[in-house]
Amino acid sequence: MRKVLIVDDNKDTPDTIEEYLAIYKELQEREQLPYTLEFIWEETIESALERFDKKIEVIDVALIDYDFSYDTKGKKGVYLVKKIRDHINQRCKIVFNTMHGISFLNKSELVDLINNDVFRFISKSGETFDLKYQEVGDKADQLIVEAIIEALDSYDPVSNALERYLVNYFDVMRDVKIDINGKEYSIQEIIDAIRLCKEPGNTFVANLLEMTVMDFLEIK
């Protein structure tokens, strides 16, 4: 399961999510895509930050709007991106959504977004990129869905492969505890830490790679 957080004050967002899911389902069947997606909607910057701060779930991709007309403090999506990167989640892929494309952003905003590792800029008009797959729905919506797919595919392949293995054997290993630096962790705790690129996930991946290299060199 991959979780996609949409942060947008558009009241029609629930309907848009249904469109995204329909497009993804069609592409998943045609292209044999491996992920199951769950979309979550937060209407304000503050509610999105509260959700991130609670750390009750791993957000794999955040789709963030630029303009929040209902924000009384005048905060924009750029503010949320910086907050996520500074204090909350260094690994979450961010797709930045604007009405008019990146030409609408001023120079300082664009620099901030680039420096905070935004994965993709998408125009709501659908004019930013050509489609990668055969068109199966509204082009603007499909561009966003395709950006989400590519963002998920761009995660560290070693971590992705390891996570798939642990998930596939989760039922067998459900009660297994793994000792890392003197502390025991469940499989789910390690999976979540890998997806967040935090401890103990980083140490688990590093130890596994070290053992793999040692075994390979011994065979040679």
d(Cα 95, Cα 92) in Å, to the nearest integer? 10
pLDDT at 171: 80
Does residue 121 contact residue 128 with C-beta atoms inside 8 Å? yes
Q: What is the pLDDT along the chain (220 residues), one digit of tens a residue?
A: 889 999 999 999 999 999 999 999 999 999 999 888 999 999 999 999 999 888 778 889 999 998 887 665 778 899 999 998 886 666 789 999 887 666 677 888 888 888 888 999 888 776 667 899 999 999 999 999 999 999 998 876 666 776 677 777 878 777 889 899 999 998 888 888 877 777 898 898 888 878 777 766 765 4
pLDDT at 136: 94
At 14, is the secondary structure helix, strand, or coil? helix
Q: Which residues pair with 65 in a beta bridge?
A: 97
Does the N-terminal peptide bond of residue 200 adopt cis geometry, omega within 30 degrees of 0? yes
d(Cα 147, Cα 120) in Å, to the nearest integer? 7
- Return the closest-CA partner of residue 126 out of 149, 153, 109, 146: 146
